[in-house]
Amino acid sequence: MNKSFEPWLYLAPMLLFILLLVLVPLITGISYAFYNFDLISGTREFVGLDQFIRILNEDEIFLTSLVNTLFWTSTSLFFQFTLGLALALLLNNGFRGIKLIQPVLFVPWAVPSFLIGLMWVWMFNPVTGPLPYLFEWLGLMDLPENILSDPDHAMWGPITANVWFGIPFFTIMLLAALRSIPREIYEAASMDGVSGLQAFRHITLPLIAPTIIITLMIRAIWVANFAEIIIVMTNGGPANSTQIVATYIYDTAYQKMDFGYASVLSIALLFMLMIYGFTLGHIRRKMKVYI
């Protein structure tokens, strides 16, 4: 068989789906950026780059939402990843009752995101949930108040919900990677006197590195684009303190019905995620040398 033709054969079924149902719609969606949609007449008018000028010059909410996106994504990801890795190592190590406990720990990943939002709204509400009383008892708050209505700390509400939801993702992926490492490698290493932390640093970490990079890359992109929890919990408020670019796009498209400008905002977000993705992709290619 022709060597250069072979990989495309394996990729073909997948690419067909992606081309028809993702790429074509994506290009159409991007093209909206060059049109101004008129709701009353239902028509659209080609405006070229006019709306791109708007985002650069006169949109303060965009800047706020950009800073918030950075905080939301990095904080959520930090806790999801560190806790997820810790849990994966614990589960890989094994303990009594693991068969029963492991599926229970994966439950949050299965909860639809709007329900996660609603659930945590109740947890944070002093009328229905216990958390404000816990914070008061811990001395974090003077009175049991709703953190979601405090502009300085509101973002921690959706972040908590997001961390709760996202830990299992990292745990499952990293656990699967840990399980695929042949045990003989550790046995051979321990015969050579390598064990414990050293084995983790020089065997485990390099072997699960591809999974770590790919999950971090994908998750960051998803979290940055993940609007549902915030929309349900705070809808970007109070005073835009939880407005991220993704919620702002949603707001622009479906509340203000300004699809053209929403597409411009999407392209801006896409552009920033691309820079992030390429940086990590570059690191991953470098890493392949070790494996």
Partner 1 sequence: MKVIKYPFIIGFLTFTLFPVFWMFKISITPDRLLYSEGIVAWPSNTTWDHYYAVLIEGSFPDYFLNSFIVSITTAALVTIFAVLGGYALSRFQFRGKIALLIILLLTQMFPIVMVIAPIYNVLTYINLVDSISGLILVYTAFNLPFACFLMQSFYDGTPMELEEAAMIDGCTRMQALEKITLPLCLPGIGATLGFVFTAAWSELLFALMFISRQSQMTFPAGIMNFVTKFSVDWGQMAAAMILALIPVCIFFAYIQKFIVQGLTAGALKG
129-168 binders of partner 1 (CB under 8 A): 129-130, 133, 164, 167
Rule CB under 8 A: is residue 257 a binding residue for partner 1? no
Q: Does 103 bind partner 1 (CB under 8 A)?
A: yes
- Omega cis (within 30) before 238: yes
Does the footprint of partner 1 cover residue 38 (CB under 8 A)? no
Closest approach of Cβ 9 to partner 1, in Å?
8
Residues binding partner 1: what is the number (CB under 8 A)? 101
In the block, residue with structure tokens 């019905």: 257
- Smallest gap from Cβ 279 to partner 1, in A, equals 12
Instruction: Pick between residue 4 and residue 57 the one whose CB is nearest to partner 1.
Output: 4
Residue 284 contacts residue 214 (beta carbons within 8 Å): yes
- Confirm or reject binding of residue 269 to partner 1 (CB under 8 A): yes
Give the nearest distance from C-beta 264 to partner 1 in angstroms.
10
Residue 270 interacts with partner 1 (CB under 8 A): yes or no: yes
Give 36's strand partners. 45
Q: Does 123 bind partner 1 (CB under 8 A)?
A: yes
Q: How far apart are CA 233 and CA 243, in angstroms?
A: 11
Contacts of 270 by beta carbon, 8 Å cutoff, 6+ apart:
none
Q: Applying CB under 8 A, which of residues 8, 71, 137, 200 lies at the interface with partner 1? A: 8
Using CB under 8 A as the binding rule, whether residue 26 contacts partner 1 is answered as: yes
Residues numbered 48 to 87 that lie near partner 1 (CB under 8 A) are 83, 86-87
104 forms part of the interface with partner 1 (CB under 8 A): yes
- What's the CA gap between 141 and 138, in Å, rounded? 8
Q: Which of 23, 140, 239, 257 binds partner 1 (CB under 8 A)?
A: 23
Q: Does 290 bind partner 1 (CB under 8 A)?
A: no
Please tell me the distance from the alpha carbon of residue 9 to that of residue 96, in angstroms, as a whole number. Answer: 46
Q: Which of 101, 140, 205, 239 binds partner 1 (CB under 8 A)?
A: 101
Which residues in the 189-248 window bind partner 1 by CB under 8 A?
207-208, 210-211, 213-214, 217-218, 221-222, 225, 227-228, 246
Residue 48 CA to residue 70 CA, distance in Å, equals: 29
Among 141, 147, 177, 230, binds partner 1 (CB under 8 A): 177
Of 23 and 239, the one with the shorter C-beta distance to partner 1 is 23
